[in-house]
Amino acid sequence: VRTDIQLARVRSRTGEEMASDFERQRATAEDRLGAIVRAPGDVAALARASLDGAVGSLRLDDAGAPVDPPSADDKTLLEHALCRVMFGLIEDASARATAVMSHVASGGGAKKAATDKKAGATNAANEPSMPRLLDLALTLSETGVVEPACVFNALEQLLETCTIADCEDVFTWVEARRGRLSADALWRRGKLVMLRTCNELQRRLSKTADTVLRGRVLLLLSSLYPLSERSALNLGGNYNAGNVTELDGRDAEGDDAQAQAGTQASDANAEAEGVVVDRAFYETFWSLQKFFSNPPAALEPTGGWKTFARALGSVLDNFETHRLDKTSAGRAVTTVTTVTGGGDEHRGTAAANIEGTTAGTKYLTAAPLLHLQLRDPAFRRHFLVQCAVFLGFCTAPCLYKGVDAKGALDAKKRVMEAIRHTPPHGEEFAAAVALALRREEGWVLWKRDNCKDFEREPEAPRAGAAAP
């Protein structure tokens, strides 16, 4: 028993010594990494001079690469120290109430940050610290000092702790380093981490308020992954059935006299302005959204296509009868400015909406608004593009059941003609839509053929062929 107690004490002391040795080396590495981030100059050169011999048997050559492959423990220690420096910068930025990617580290943690803030102290380098830390992680991953996936893990942890505004700044750094991040040595080990990071960021972003950043994330993924990457494909053909359009039923129920009187007054104004909108047309117009959100469920029942064709024909008849002229955009801007009560800033926002430079709009379905919405060129364009995309799929071979191919083709021509007559720049906009639809036809055929790889192996030279 006494021997067992003695062995346990020896093991305990050995464990404590190992833990203290790890903490001592980690603290040394953390200090050196922090000094690299705060110091002016090239990150790679500073890392080569500062990290040589920092932990274990790590020795670096003139290019900054390890002379001998570092042990797994040394890599883990450096990655741990790098993460601690990163979280220290986040804490420092929070204490100073500054953006993470534009914050200049002062050193000493949150307490010293608060003191420096009162004293007005700044870093002599005056260069944001977090981009330098990410550059350092990228350099160490490239040279093999740490694991290739280290920079991707750092990005994942950073984005998890950032606000949406800070995430946008971090993503700007990612886009600028895309070429280095996609290098084969790094990408093979970090692509799954990057995919998980981007998917998690997409879940956090609003589909209406953060559409630009969502688009940037998708564009980055499409540039990093090959076209034949099946993880991004909707192989099951699933639709966003959760996007439900709810109709305004106040005036239909007749239990709200004030709402009914307002609707009648609105209808009278609409007729005076030349736009005929009644309850039947309102329900017809918004009923088309169920076909756009889930085409198979809306088309496959008996008479589904005929119902869609009648509703679309009624709306197009209204559009053709009440076409917009070149002054419609100006009138829409005036209307929006009057409603919002804004000055030049609101007027500029409204003009941008007319030009279609903003995205992610989900329009209100209140019945009294429809006659105003129909006078808005941007609103018409959104709706007509929905129709064009839907009819483009209806005319594709073997896609939807119960579709009248000739009727779909004729309806598509009417929709494209309506787009051409919608200002501003109707002809140019219609040409862009037509080009997108032609390209989409190729993708439809590619998916129908089970998504064959685009990459091809080089062909063997033919016998007797001359060398190039």
Q: Decide: 45 and 135 in contact? Cβ < 8 Å.
A: no
209 pLDDT more than 80: yes
Please determine, for residue 289, whether its predicted confidence score (pLDDT) is greater than 60.
yes
Region 288-311 average pLDDT: 87
pTM: 0.63
Q: Output 92 or 456, whichever has higher pLDDT.
A: 92
Sorted by sequence, the CB contacts under 8 Å of residue 95 that are 6+ apart come out as 110, 113, 114, 117
**Average pLDDT of the residues in 210-238:** 84
Q: What is the DSSP letter of 60?
A: B
Average pLDDT score over residue span 385-414:
86
What is the model's pLDDT at position 110?
Answer: 42
Q: Which tokens in the block code for residue 459? A: 């062909």
Per-residue model confidence (pLDDT) at position 9? 55
Cβ distance 36 to 131 under 8 Å? no
Average pLDDT on 384-413 reads: 86
Inter-residue contact 323 to 419 (CB < 8 Å): no
**Angle, CA of 80, 85 and 86, to the nearest 5°:** 95
Q: State how far the Cα of 335 lies from the Cα of 372, in Å rounded to an integer.
A: 9
Average pLDDT over residues 131-155: 94
Exposure string over 438-461, b if 16+ CB within 10 A, otherwise e: eeeeeebeeeeeeeeeeeeeeeee
List the beta bridge partners of residue 66: 60
Q: Is the pLDDT of residue 418 over 90?
A: yes
4-42 pLDDT per residue, tens: 555 455 455 554 555 577 788 888 888 889 999 988 889
Specify the range with the lowest mean pLDDT, choosing from 66-80, 205-219, 355-369, 391-405. 355-369
Measuring CA to CA, which residue among 155, 177, 297, 282 is closest to residue 237? 297
Average pLDDT, the chain: 79
pLDDT in tens, 321-364: 988 887 765 555 444 444 444 444 444 444 444 444 445 567 88
Lowest mean pLDDT among 209-223, 334-348, 390-404, 439-453: 334-348
* For range 415-444, the mean pLDDT: 92
Q: What's the pLDDT at 133?
A: 94
Q: Is the pLDDT of residue 83 over 80?
A: yes
* CA distances, 359 to each of 124, 214, 232, 446 (Å): 42, 11, 22, 28
Question: Coil, strand, or helix at residue 293?
Answer: helix
